[in-house]
């Protein structure tokens, strides 16, 4: 994701998710250090740390890391001491420790576009897992990939006189399995636009069997497949898959 300066301020405003309890429970279940890939604004990492889990987060965007550090600075000292951030990439990060759980939330594994890099990332993750550690991640699924393009517009109120409009345009290329997305954030106050930011990205469109094959080929076994973040068993046709995998 090409997170440019400014857009990170409104990322969480439009990114409501119901996955906090799931990732906290997984971290407690596997009882040890956790590593979040694509930590973003530290939305999840902060909740893990509040639950007593020592959590490290990496992200490719220094702007996201700045937003994360600002959020962490508001916490009590004990919670802050459990959080550690650095800039890095899932494909080639190198840390001198191993983790009981590595998680890649918010369907962010799909930002790794090259299938070869996807395999490199999975191997790298495996190299950083403690014995019996798990890799936990989620992905949006598209049952049938076909050429497509469309706009969307969303609005969120900031207060009585100001709001943010996020608009986006996406195109899908079935041959490469890539979706290209451009988004604009416009901030209005008393009816006048006072700020405007752009971010762009591409994502790789996965399907359930393709993800299973990818995990098998990189030496993982799947422990659990869910169709949401509340324990529902994954069924064909679900638009999200949540996976808990472990090295063979």
**Helix boundaries (H) for 11-146:** 20-30, 43-50, 62-72, 77-80, 115-127
**pLDDT, greater one: 10 or 143:** 10
Residue 72 lies in a domain: yes
Same domain, 221 and 122: yes
Residue 2 lies in a domain: no
Q: How many Cβ atoms from other residues are within 10 Å of residue 200's Cβ? A: 16
pLDDT tens per residue across span 42-78 = 999 999 999 999 999 999 999 999 999 999 999 999 9
CATH code of the domain in which 133 resides: 3.40.50.150
Question: pLDDT band at 4, cuts 50/70/90?
Answer: low
Same domain, 121 and 228: yes
Residues 158 and 74 in one domain: no
Query: Is 140 within 8 Å of 107 (Cβ atoms)?
Result: yes
Neighbours of 168 (CB within 10 A): 17
List, for residues 196-243, the tens digit of each pLDDT value.
Answer: 999 889 999 999 999 999 999 999 999 999 999 999 999 999 999 999
Domain with 174, as residue range(s), is 148-204
pLDDT in tens, 26-51: 999 999 999 999 999 999 999 999 99
Q: Are residues 67 and 94 in the same domain?
A: yes
User: How many residues in total does the chain contain?
Assistant: 248
Report how far residue 41's alpha carbon sits from residue 16's, in angstroms, rounded to the nearest whole number: 13
What are the tens digits of pLDDT across the range 172-190?
A: 999 999 999 999 999 999 9
Q: For tokens 């220094």, name the residue.
A: 62
Task: Quote the pTM value.
Answer: 0.93
Paired sense of beta strands 148-157 and 129-140, if any: unpaired
């Amino acid at each position: 994701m090409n997170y440019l300066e400014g857009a990170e301020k409104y990322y969480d405003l439009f990114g409501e998710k119901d996955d906090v309890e799931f990732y906290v429970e997984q971290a407690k279940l596997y009882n040890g250090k956790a590593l979040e890939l694509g930590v973003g604004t530290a939305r999840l990492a902060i909740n893990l740390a509040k639950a007593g889990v020592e959590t490290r987060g990496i992200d490719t965007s220094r702007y996201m890391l700045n937003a994360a550090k600002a959020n962490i600075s508001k916490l009590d000292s004990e919670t802050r001491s459990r959080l550690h951030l650095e800039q890095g990439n899932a494909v080639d990060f190198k840390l001198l420790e191993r983790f009981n759980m590595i998680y890649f939330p918010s369907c962010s594994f799909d930002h790794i576009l090259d299938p070869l890099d996807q395999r490199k990332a999975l191997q790298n993750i495996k190299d950083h897992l403690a014995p019996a550690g798990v890799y936990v991640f989620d992905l949006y699924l598209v049952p049938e990939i076909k050429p497509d393009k469309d706009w969307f517009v969303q609005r969120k109120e900031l207060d009585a006189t100001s709001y943010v409009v996020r608009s986006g345009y996406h195109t899908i290329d079935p041959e490469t399995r890539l979706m290209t997305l451009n988004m604009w954030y416009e901030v209005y106050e008393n009816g006048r636009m006072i700020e405007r930011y752009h971010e762009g990205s591409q994502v790789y469109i996965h399907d359930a069997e393709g993800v299973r094959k990818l995990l098998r080929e990189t030496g993982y076994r799947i422990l659990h497949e869910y169709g949401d973040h509340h324990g529902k068993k994954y069924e064909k046709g679900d638009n999200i898959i949540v996976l808990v995998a472990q090295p063979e």
